[in-house]
DNA sequence: CGCGACTTTGAGGAATTTCAATAGGCGTGG
DNA sequence: CCACGCCTATTGAAATTCCTCAAAGTCGCG
């Protein structure tokens, strides 16, 4: 968990292993759609390998060139941008099954940073050969657009939260979202989610100060809807949390993308 | 400007005309990339026609089914979502050249509303035949993913603004963004942009109250960087506005998508 | 034990919202 | 042409929310 360098240089990532897509840890999750052998074989051609990053590693640095696309296999990460005066906004939390790299400009300049929150295993694809997908496998190209489109919806939802919900609602909404996504990815166990997210992370994602984030979390715990202990998020009253969050129908993630 | 119904029913839109893509008003803008005749011909196959909406028309209603995709040809619109208690968040302002509909779920349920701010002409494509694009024209499929990816970047930037910038910065940032986009689309004339946006719209986009939006705009005018008169936005000091907005390199829209 | 990273608390102050009321602009009907 | 209604913009003041500052407290780990 700590032998990897804090900052991983470009080029080949820290560690490599070659798994077959068929035995990909994501393939067992009911949240994802199974894929045909031939589709898996096709995707395999673009896979450069797998990389393992230590907790805290900076996988992608805003403004730097990146020739990789990733699918997260294990672990949590954050996607973020910082203003030149240092203020940081976390764009979203990244979990197993999330695909990363579309947001990057065509020229390969990352427009955001990506940091590992826990040890993180990713499947690495070659950006240079991205174009070949469209040339050779229309279905997968379609799928990619679809993935991007869903990502758009997710960001729309964040924008609504940041713009319209107050501190309590916003915090509740984020927590519920994380919990439900964690659930989909098979990370929860009877109401508990291992939670490698600090209050500072939450603050940076919610656009709130650390102090106010703390007080808001405290309030949610006093209300008895959640319990946040060291790195463990216990959801006590999901309906109530959804109520507080002003959760909307459309905020639900409608799943079923292929697991590649 | 007023003979069209306030609320346009599904099915065939209000008015139809058939232009050739070659004479599309967007094709003359240097902001967009020219397309080959064959590509234009291909796109033409999916074009259902053009529709003209009156100012104020609701083109897409959140939660309703939509079997269309649009490219905006003329006019301004807003893409928005509302919470069940009525709070509205404007997700972004749409202008000529913007492509709309990717954000919609595959099942065709619109996850946002789209409202015409001015009279608005759009090019209508058939969502049902969306898949064919990937099957028959890889290049265009690639382009679509690319468009979605850029949209992702734009939303990321909004999230940073909403989360990290204060009222003054945020307002300045939005105004500058609108002005520059208007410029790209050829809507400006020596520093002036026709501006069909009310303070309530700005407030709903910025996640601020109407009153505070008003005071913030007033302040920007007292600083002498902008001038906002009835439906006319005059940018007096662009560098200063960018400075106030804490505008970042990456906030620039890197253009050159095909104009279709 | 002591350091470092994270969490918690109190208090004053700044930013923002809400409430309430007024003013301006524009189109319609009288 | 004027009055009226409606939408939009403006303003002042009180109420809240949220932020900043400062200081302690907790926890894991070497």
Q: Do A102 and B155 touch (CB under 8 A)?
A: no
Nearest CA in chain B to A250: B111
Residue of A85, A145, A155 with shortest CB distance to B155: A155
Q: Is the CB of A198 under 7 A from strand D?
A: no
Q: Is the CB of B210 under 7 A from strand D?
A: yes
Average pLDDT, stretch B80-86? 96
Q: Do A156 and B155 touch (CB under 8 A)?
A: yes
Question: Please, which positions of strand C sit below 7 A from a protein CB?
Answer: 5-11, 15-20, 25-26
Q: How far is CA A257 from CA A142, A260, B258, in A?
A: 11, 9, 28
Contacts of the segment A21-27: beta carbons below 8 A, 24+ positions apart: A21/A47, A21/A260, A24/A73, A24/A123, A24/A259, A24/A260, A25/A73, A25/A74, A25/A96, A26/A71, A26/A73, A26/A96, A26/A97, A26/A259, A27/A259
**Model confidence, pTM:** 0.93
The whole-angstrom separation of Cα A26 and Cα A118 is: 17
Q: Do B135 and A134 touch (CB under 8 A)?
A: no
B111 close to A (CB below 8 A): yes
> Closest approach of chain A CAs to the CA of B179, in angstroms?
21
Average pLDDT, stretch B208-215? 98
Q: Is the CB of B206 under 7 A from strand D?
A: no
pLDDT score, position A9: 35
- Separate counts of helices (H) and strands (E) for chain B: 7, 11
Q: How far is CA A128 from CA A41, A125, A132, A206, in A?
A: 19, 9, 9, 35
Alpha-carbon torsion (B92, B154, B228, B183), positive or negative: negative
- pLDDT tens sequence for chain A (260 residues): 232 233 333 333 444 556 678 778 898 898 998 888 888 889 988 899 999 999 999 999 999 999 899 999 999 999 999 999 999 999 999 999 999 999 887 677 899 999 999 999 999 999 888 889 999 999 999 999 999 999 999 999 999 999 999 999 999 999 999 999 999 999 999 999 999 999 999 999 999 999 999 999 999 999 999 999 989 999 999 999 999 999 999 898 776 788 77
- Round and report the angstrom distance from CA (B177) to C1' (C23): 31
Bridge-based pairing of strands A120-126 and A58-60 is unpaired
Average pLDDT, stretch B6-27? 58
| B208 Cβ neighbours under 8 A, 6+ residues apart | B167, B170, B171, B216
The whole-angstrom separation of Cα B43 and Cα B137 is: 9
Q: Do A104 and B159 touch (CB under 8 A)?
A: no
Q: Is the CB of A154 under 7 A from strand D?
A: no
The whole-angstrom separation of Cα B117 and Cα B23 is: 25
Residue with tokens 């001015």: B118
Percent of chain B predicted with pLDDT > 90: 71
CB B208 within 8 A of CB B172: no
pLDDT score, position B192: 96
Q: Which of A99, A136, A152 to mutate to test the interface with B (most CBs of B within 10 A)?
A: A152
pLDDT score, position B19: 66
Count CA atoms within 13 Å of residue B27 on its CB side.
12
> Helices A167-184 and A138-164 meet at what angle, rounded to 10?
150
pLDDT score, position B106: 67
B207 close to A (CB below 8 A): yes
> Closest approach of chain B CAs to the CA of A174, in angstroms?
14
B71 conformational bin, left if phi > 0, alpha if psi -120 to 50, beta if neither: beta
Number of Cβ atoms within 10 Å of the Cβ of A177: 21
Average pLDDT, stretch B70-84? 96
B131 close to A (CB below 8 A): yes
pLDDT score, position A258: 81
Percent of chain B predicted with pLDDT > 70: 92
pLDDT score, position A53: 94
Chain B residues lying within 8 Å of A134, measured CB to CB: 134, 138-139, 141-142, 145
Residue of B84, B104, B248 with shortest CB distance to A83: B248
Q: Do A250 and B62 touch (CB under 8 A)?
A: yes
By three-state DSSP, how is residue B120 classified? Answer: strand
The whole-angstrom separation of Cα B81 and Cα A165 is: 13
pLDDT tens for residues B101-141? 998 876 778 999 999 999 999 999 998 888 899 999 999 99
Query: pLDDT confidence of B18, banded at 50, 70, 90?
Result: low
**B38 burial via Cβ count (<10 Å: 0-12, 13-18, 19+):** exposed
The whole-angstrom separation of Cα A42 and Cα A39 is: 5
């Amino acid at each position: 968990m700590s032998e990897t360098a804090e900052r991983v240089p470009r080029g080949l990532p820290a560690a490599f292993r070659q798994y077959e897509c068929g035995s990909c840890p994501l393939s067992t999750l009911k949240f994802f759609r199974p894929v045909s052998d031939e589709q898996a074989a096709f995707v395999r051609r673009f896979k450069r390998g797998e990389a393992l990053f230590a907790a805290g590693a900076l996988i992608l640095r805003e403004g730097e060139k990146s020739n990789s696309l990733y699918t997260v296999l294990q672990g949590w990460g954050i996607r973020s941008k910082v203003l030149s005066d240092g203020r940081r906004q976390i764009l979203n939390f990244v979990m197993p099954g999330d695909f990363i790299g579309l947001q990057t400009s065509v020229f390969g300049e990352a427009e955001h940073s990506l940091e590992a929150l826990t040890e993180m295993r990713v499947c690495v694809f070659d950006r240079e050969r991205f174009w070949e997908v469209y040339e050779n496998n229309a279905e997968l190209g379609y799928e990619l657009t679809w993935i991007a489109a869903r990502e758009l919806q997710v960001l729309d939802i964040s924008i609504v939260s940041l713009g319209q919900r107050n501190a309590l609602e916003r915090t509740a909404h984020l927590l519920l979202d994380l919990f439900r996504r964690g659930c989909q990815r098979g990370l929860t166990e009877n109401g508990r989610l291992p939670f490698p997210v600090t209050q500072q992370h939450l603050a940076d994602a919610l656009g709130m100060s650390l102090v106010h984030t703390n007080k808001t979390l405290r309030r949610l715990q006093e209300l008895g809807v959640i319990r946040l202990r060291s790195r463990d998020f216990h959801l006590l009253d999901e309906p109530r949390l959804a109520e507080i969050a002003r959760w909307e129908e459309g905020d639900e993630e409608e799943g079923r993308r292929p697991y590649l």
